């Protein structure tokens, strides 16, 4: 395959990182590409994107490797660590097999920052990437070393967020 895969990274404190990666997935699928998304630190089927993918996009592989509860920074549970490891093992397999053109590791930057995943293991994953595979890494607090490896970085910066006005999470907007 002649396609040039890239390492794309979405970070920053504003809203739009996970949804940007889902937009890319939609775009890639339009070209007949296979997409695999692994979500770290998420474990709820209530997200609209999950419902839509399950209902309308059977070719979109999406797996969650987290619990439906908040992870305590610096104090993860054994289950948090086990799921993060499973996510990394799966990512290693999917990336090295190269059957999917687009592999999205959602919230992986946060998983590193929270101590669920070693930064070196993410760097190793990046080094496994076959030429034709595009790897998308999302999440706040991306590490310098991981950013060094990226071909593209967009930092989403909060200017305003409706949450600050007391508007709680809403279906179709937040989840
Ligand atoms: P989205 O999933 O909407 O693309 P995101 O991936 O950029 O957002 P995360 O940093 O993963 O956002 O945060 C997860 C949740 O927090 C989302 O429900 C998002 O709407 C919300 N959120 C994102 N940025 C902010 C913010 N600056 N203030 C409050 N809530 C936020
Ligand atoms: Mg996100």
Please tell me whether residue 80 adopts helix, strand or coil conformation. Answer: helix
Give the pLDDT band (50/70/90) at residue 3. Answer: confident
Cα 13 to ligand 1 centre (Å): 8
* Ligand 1 contact, 154 CB (< 6 A): no
CB contact set of 171 (below 8 Å; sequence gap of 6+): 48
> Which one of the ligands is nearest to 159 CA?
1
**Contact, 15 vs 158, CB < 8 A?**
yes
* Ligand 1 contact, 12 CB (< 6 A): no
Please tell me whether residue 117 adopts helix, strand or coil conformation. Answer: coil
Model confidence, pTM? 0.95
pLDDT digits (tens, 9 = 90+) for 114-157: 999 999 999 999 999 999 999 999 999 999 999 999 999 999 99
pLDDT digits (tens, 9 = 90+) for 107-126: 999 999 999 999 999 999 99
Token couple for 84: 């993060």
What's the DSSP call for residue 29? Answer: H
* Ligand 1 contact, 17 CB (< 6 A): yes
Q: Which residues pair with 63 in a beta bridge?
A: 38
Residue-level pLDDT at 125: 97
Ligand 1 pocket mutation, candidates 15, 113, 139, criterion most atoms within 8 A of CB: 15
Average pLDDT over residues 58-65: 96
Domains of the chain: 7-158 (3.40.50.300)
* Ligand 1 contact, 44 CB (< 6 A): no
Question: Closest Cα to atom 31, ligand 1: which residue?
Answer: 15
Report whether pLDDT(1) > 80. no
> What mean pLDDT value characterizes the chain?
96
Please tell me whether residue 99 adopts helix, strand or coil conformation. Answer: coil
């Amino acid at each position: 395959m002649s396609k040039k895969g890239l390492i794309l990274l979405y970070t920053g404190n504003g809203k739009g990182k996970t949804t940007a990666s889902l937009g890319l997935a939609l775009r890639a699928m339009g070209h007949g590409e296979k997409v695999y998304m692994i979500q770290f630190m998420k474990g709820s089927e209530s997200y609209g994107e999950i419902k839509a993918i399950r209902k309308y996009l059977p070719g979109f592989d999406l797996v969650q490797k987290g619990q439906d509860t908040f992870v305590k920074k610096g104090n993860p549970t054994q289950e948090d660590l086990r799921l993060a490891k499973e996510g990394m093992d799966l990512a290693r397999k999917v990336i090295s097999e190269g059957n999917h053109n687009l592999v999205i590791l959602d919230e992986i930057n946060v998983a590193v920052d929270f101590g669920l995943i070693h930064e070196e293991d993410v760097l190793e994953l990046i080094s496994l990437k076959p030429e034709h595979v595009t790897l998308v890494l999302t999440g706040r607090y991306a590490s310098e070393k991981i950013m060094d490896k990226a071909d593209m970085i967009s930092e989403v910066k909060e200017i305003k967020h409706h949450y600050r006005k007391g508007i709680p999470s809403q279906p179709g907007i937040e989840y």
